[in-house]
Structure 1
Amino acid sequence: MNMEFIEALHELEKGRGISAEILFEAIEAALISAYKKNFGSLQNVRVLIDRLTGEFKVYARKTVVDVVEDARTQVSLEEARKLDPNYEFEDIVEYEVTPREFGRIAAQTAKQVVVQRIREAERGMIYDEFVNREGDIVTGVVQRYEQKNVIVDLGKVEAVLPAQEQIPGEMYQSFDRIKTYVVEVKKTTKGPQIMLSRTHPGLIKRLFELEVPEIHDGVVEIKGVSREAGARSKIAVFSRDSNVDPVGACVGPKGVRVQTIVTELKGEKIDIVNYSNDPQEFVANALSPAKVVAVYPKLNEKVAIVVVPDYQLSLAIGKEGQNARLAAKLTGWKIDIKSESQAVAHNIIPQGQEQYENYEEYGEYEEYSEYDEYAETEDYQEYEEIGETDNSQLAGNIESNDDQNQLGYAQELESFDNHDKIVTGAVDPEITGMSENLPGETQLPLKEKKKKGKG
Structure 2
Amino acid sequence: MSSELIQALHEIEKERGIPQAALIEAIKTALNTAYRKNFGTAQNVSVEFNEITGEVKVFSQKKVVAVPQDQRMEIGLEEALELYPSCKEEDMVYVEATPGNFGRIAAQTAKQVVMQKLREAERSLIYEEFLEREGEIVTGTIQRIEARTIYIYLGRIEGIMLPGDQIIGERYNLGQRLKAYIYEVKNSTKGPNIYLSRSHPYFLRRLFELEVPEIYDGVVEIRSIAREAGSRSKISVHSTDEKIDSVGACVGPRGLRVQNIVSELGGEKIDIIKYDREPAKYIANALSPSKVAAVYIDDGNKVATVVVPDYQLSLAIGKEGQNARLAAKLTGWKVDIKSESQFAEETDIDG
- Name the TM-score, length of structure 2 as normaliser: 0.78
Cα shift at 1:196: 1.4
Corresponding residue for residue 81 of structure 2: none
Instruction: Give SS of 1:21's match.
Output: coil
Change (3 A) 1:36 1:253: same
Q: Which residue of 2 aligns with 1:337?
A: 337
From the superposition, tell whether residues 141 and 8 of structure 1 become closer, same or farther in structure 2 (CA, over 3 Å): farther
- The alignment partner of 1:103 has SS state of helix
| Aligned pairs (5 A) from 1:12-31 | 19-22=16-19, 25-27=22-24, 29-31=26-28
**Which residue is 1:241 aligned to?**
241
Q: Which one has a bigger Cα radius of gyration?
A: 1
Residues in 1 aligned to 2:124 and 2:343: alpha-carbon distance in whole angstroms: 62
Q: Which structure: greater strand fraction?
A: 2
Residue 198 of structure 2 corresponds to residue 198 of structure 1 = yes
Paired AA for residue 318 in structure 1: G
Asked whether the equivalents of residues 283 and 327 of structure 1 are also in contact (C-alpha less than 8 Å), the reply is yes
Counterparts of 2:149 and 2:33, CA distance in 1: 45
Q: Deviations for 1:277-324, whole angstroms, at most 9, x for unmatched residues?
A: 111111011001111111001001010000111111111111111110
- Distance between the aligned counterparts of 1:167 and 1:302, measured in 2? 32
State the AA in 1 paired with 2:247: V
Matched-pair contact (CA < 8 Å) for 2:185–2:192 = yes
Q: Give the deviation of 1:102 after TM superposition.
A: 6.0
| Code of the aligned partner of 1:313 | L
Cα distance, 1:289–1:21 mapped onto 2, change above 3 Å: same
Alignment-derived partner of residue 281 in structure 1: 281
Query: Post-superposition shift, 1:33?
Result: 3.2
Cα distance per residue 1:35-73 (max 9 Å; x no partner): 675598764967646xxxxx558899xxxxxxxxxxxxx
Q: Secondary structure at the match of 2:18?
A: helix
d(CA) in 1 for partners of 2:300, 2:333:
11
* CA RMSD, Structure 1 to Structure 2 (Å): 3.3
Seen in structure 2, the aligned counterparts of structure 1 residues 9 and 148 have a Cα distance that, compared at 3 Å, is farther
**Do the aligned partners of residues 187 and 213 (structure 1) sit closer, same or farther apart at CA in structure 2, a change above 3 Å counting?**
same
Structure 2 match to 1:148: 148
The amino acid that maps onto 1:203 is: F
Task: Supply the distance in 2 between the matched residues of 1:142 and 1:23 (Cα, whole angstroms).
Answer: 38
Paired residues in the alignment total 307
Letter aligned with residue 199 of structure 1: S
Contact 1:35 1:106 in 2 (8 A): no
Q: CA shift at 1:260, angstroms? A: 0.9
1:138 aligns with 2:109: no
Counterpart in the other structure of 1:271: 271
- Conserved? CA contact 1:138–1:180, under 8 Å: yes
Indicate the residue corresponding to 2:76 in structure 1: none
- Alpha-carbon deviations, 1:356-408, whole Å to 9, x = none? xxxxxxxxxxxxxxxxxxxxxxxxxxxxxxxxxxxxxxxxxxxxxxxxxxxxx
Distance 1:118 1:19, change over 3 A: same
User: Contact (CA 8 Å) 2:224, 2:330: kept in 1 or not?
Assistant: yes
Kept in 2, the 8 Å contact 1:226–1:233? The answer is yes
1:34 aligns with 2:36: no
Query: In structure 2, do the counterparts of structure 1 residues 5 and 106 end up closer, same or farther at CA, with 3 Å as the change threshold?
Result: closer
Which residue does the alignment assign to 2:220?
220
Query: Does the 8 Å CA contact 1:236/1:275 hold for their aligned counterparts?
Result: yes
Partners of 1:188 and 1:247 in 2: how far apart? 43
Q: What is aligned with 1:305?
A: 305
1:188 partner letter: S
Where does the alignment leave 5 or more consecutive residues of structure 2 unmatched? Answer: 37-42, 59-95
Question: 1:315 aligned to 2:318?
Answer: no
2:179 corresponds to 1:179:
yes
- 1:266 aligned counterpart, secondary structure: coil
- Equivalent residues of 2:28, 2:49 under 8 A apart: no
Partner of 1:107: 107
| SS of 2:326 mapped into structure 1 | helix
Contact 2:56 2:103 in 1 (8 A): no
Q: CA deviation at 1:266?
A: 0.5
Partner AA of 1:268 in structure 2:
E
Decide whether the 8 Å contact of 1:237 with 1:246 is kept in 2.
Answer: yes
Match of 1:261 in 2: 261
Letter of the aligned partner of 2:337 in structure 1? I
In structure 1, the residue corresponding to 2:120 is in which secondary structure? helix
DSSP-derived class of the 1:168 partner? coil
Q: Give 1:442's aligned residue.
A: none
For residue 344 of structure 1, report the CA deviation from its aligned partner.
1.0
- For the 8 Å contact 2:185–2:194, the answer to whether it is kept is yes
2:79 corresponds to which residue?
Answer: none
In structure 1, C-alpha distance between the alignment counterparts of 2:208 and 2:278, rounded to whole Å: 25
Equivalent pair of 1:344/1:350 in contact (CA under 8 Å): no
Contact kept in structure 2, 1:35 and 1:102, CA below 8 Å: no
Kindly provide the CA deviation profile for residues 239-281 of structure 1, in whole angstroms up to 9, marking residues without a partner as x: 1111111111111111111111111100101000111111111
Deviation, structure 1 residue 110 = 1.1
Please tell me whether the aligned partners of residues 276 and 282 of structure 1 are also in contact (alpha carbons under 8 angstroms): yes
The secondary structure found in structure 2 opposite 1:134 is coil
2:347 is paired with a residue of what secondary structure?
Answer: coil
**Aligned equivalents of 1:107, 1:57: Cα separation in 2:** 10
Summarize the Cα distance change of 1:276–1:13 in structure 2 as closer, same or farther, 3 Å threshold. farther
Equivalents in 1 of 2:339, 2:256: separation in Å?
36
For residues 11-51 of structure 1, the C-alpha deviation after alignment (integer angstroms, 9 at most, x for no partner) is x789xxx62434673255225533675598764967646xx
- Distance in structure 2 (CA, Å) of the matches to 1:196 and 1:283: 32
The answer to whether the 8 Å contact 2:123/2:192 transfers is: yes
